[in-house]
Structure 1
Amino acid sequence: VDRWKEVRDRLPGTETHFTWSSADTSGEDNVTLAYLQECAAEAGLHTVGLAIEQLGWDRDLGRFVDLEEAPISSLFKLYPWEWVLDDEFGRYAVDSLPETMWVEPLWKTLLSNKAILAVLWEMYP
């Protein structure tokens, strides 16, 4: 809750969207995300929860939208970047910058990709 209070004023827009994958049949991700969303709400954020598969792309605005066609200004996802980039809508993730602030930045994809180890080995054997 305290950390959400720290970042609250740095997030663009009036709402922060929280997403999980509806493909998780155990429901664990949904429950975890609901807890994080509740913490953010307790910290004073206005939150909207939806499955990541429900994200829309407005071609005219060039940005992500929610089920009510409202532009998404800040987004917390409980979904690996590797999966986002493999999904059809993932190709828009880079295009959405800086209009959509991803709470977990896209550059973290480099750190979570094991292929970087080979590059680092080439550079620094």
Structure 2
Amino acid sequence: MDEHGYALAVRVLENLQNLASHGLDEFRSPEDVRPLLGPRSAICWDALTGFWNDVAEWRRHNGAPMESSAPLLAVENEELRLLLWTSNRTLPTGEKLGIADAVRYEKATGASLPEYSDLAAALRAAGSGSS
């Protein structure tokens, strides 16, 4: 994965994490997916997990009470379901966290998803290569 492919890889992994978070029988769990990833993808996966954990923690302390993800999981229209399932994640509590929450978190804190340079540094620290 190079710098140009990083954004696409992050989007794909984030969509995969969101789908896996819903606990649906059609998809593997996040714990089942993580060991299947290569070293670079695993570092991205972990960075995404950390980012979304930070968003959830911030949201719990700074927003209105979170809603259940049950209504989005009950959507029957396939196209709408795809959009909702990949743009939201279900937390272990059953609450829903979505892209709007991430945007509010980024604006409030200045924090954002790790950049490619962060991945390269993590790879060097893990002894997996330089870029």
TM-score, structure 1 length as denominator?
0.29
TM-score, structure 2 length as denominator?
0.28
Greater share of helix residues, 1 or 2? 2
- Higher RCO, Cα 8 Å, sep 6+: 2
Greater share of strand residues, 1 or 2? 1
